[in-house]
Structure 1
Amino acid sequence: MTAHPGRGGELAAVLLGVAERLRGFAGCEIYLVSQDAADPDTVRVTEVWRDDASARAALCAPSPADGPTPADVLALLSTAPHRTDLAVLGGVGLPADGRP
């Protein structure tokens, strides 16, 4: 995601708030927020979900009154977010079935 100029830190903070909301959410295996070292207005989120139903449930879950909302994220973006879906094959921390 690309934030409006100079607002990458704000975007990262809001997304870290989303991460806190997802802590313990059923099916959320990984929700990792990273800021590009060369361009701090670029923030990436890497997500691993047990299945598509879990990811959809998280998107539909109500935001807490004191927590970040999707509108909070969108307001900080200078362009539409880019999404890339991957089929996890394995690696360190993830077995071949895609689950930690």
Structure 2
Amino acid sequence: MIGRLMTMTAQPGKGGELAAVLLEVAERLRGFPGCEIYLISQDAADPDTVRVTEVWQDETSARAALATPPRADGPSPADVLALLSSPPHRTDLTVLGGVGLPTADGRP
């Protein structure tokens, strides 16, 4: 499994709007093959900082999600980028396990 931590800084006062758009993205990924976790959170001390914690079965699954065209009724990558004050920061992770992730034998 692989993981990513995306840290995004919204334009001043737009953190709630950014979080709402990313929650729509998360809903679109519900049930997407290989997506284990797509968690949206807002920094308690700075609501204009929004983080996305991702866990994928493998890099191929993560790339497939990025390559999927946005739905006509949902947000596009451009919608997210328009709310940012700076480029997102990506941290790649090696996922070791934890609560909420399936075990090697497939148990949740």
TM-score (ref. length: structure 1): 0.92
Gaps of 5+ in 2: 1-7
* Amino acid of the structure 1 residue aligned with 2:100: G
- Partner residue, 2:4: none
Which runs of 4 or more aligned residues in structure 1 lie more than 2 Å from their structure 2 counterparts after TM superposition? 90-97
- Partner residue, 1:91: 98
% of aligned pairs identical?
Answer: 81
Give the structure with the higher percent strand: 2
Distance in 2 of aligned mates of 1:87 and 1:2 = 24
- Partner residue, 2:5: none
Secondary structure of the 2:38 match is strand
Contact 2:36–2:101 (CA<8 Å) still a contact in 1? no
Distance in 1 of aligned mates of 2:99 and 2:91 = 20
Aligned length: 99
Gaps of 5+ in 1: none
- Partner residue, 1:17: 24
Contact 1:89–1:96 (CA<8 Å) still a contact in 2? no
Deviation at 1:55, TM superposition (A): 0.3
TM-align CA RMSD: 1.5
Aligned match of 1:52 in 16, 40, 59?
Answer: 59
